[in-house]
Amino acid sequence: MSRSSVVAAALLVFALGAGVAWAEDQPAAGGSPPAATSQPPATTAPAMSASEKAAIAKSCTDQANAKGLHGKARKKFRSACKKAGGKME
């Protein structure tokens, strides 16, 4: 095969592949556009500032120190404490 044949074959494959990919993005002809989901927005907790997060982390660290926790137990306790907002006593 000559170089020009290989280049022509590669361009043909690219053109066919691009056409298929492009066709997937277009809506179906004659149909209505897809309906938007009617789910309410997810409720999330208000964003905390960095100083609030640091205060919670310090509180949890102090509690872990008071309990004498080390290793995996300390990590598990601090994780649960931070999720509870620093109120694990």
Backbone torsions φ then ψ of 83, nearest 5 degrees: -65, -30
Picking from 34, 28, 79, the residue whose alpha carbon sits closest to that of residue 57 is 79
- Residue 57 included in any domain: yes
In a domain, 8, yes or no: no
Is 59 inside a domain boundary? yes
Note the Cα 61 to chain centre separation in Å: 28
Q: Report pLDDT for 88.
A: 75
Domain assignment present for 78: yes
Residue 53 pLDDT: 92
34-82 pLDDT, tens digit each: 555 666 666 666 788 899 999 999 999 999 999 999 999 999 999 999 9
pLDDT at residue 59, as a whole number:
93
Query: Does some domain include residue 87?
Result: yes
Q: What pTM was computed for the model?
A: 0.48
Range of the domain at 78: 48-89
Q: What is the pLDDT of residue 42?
A: 60
Q: Quick check: is 29 in a domain?
A: no
What is the number of domains present in the chain? 1
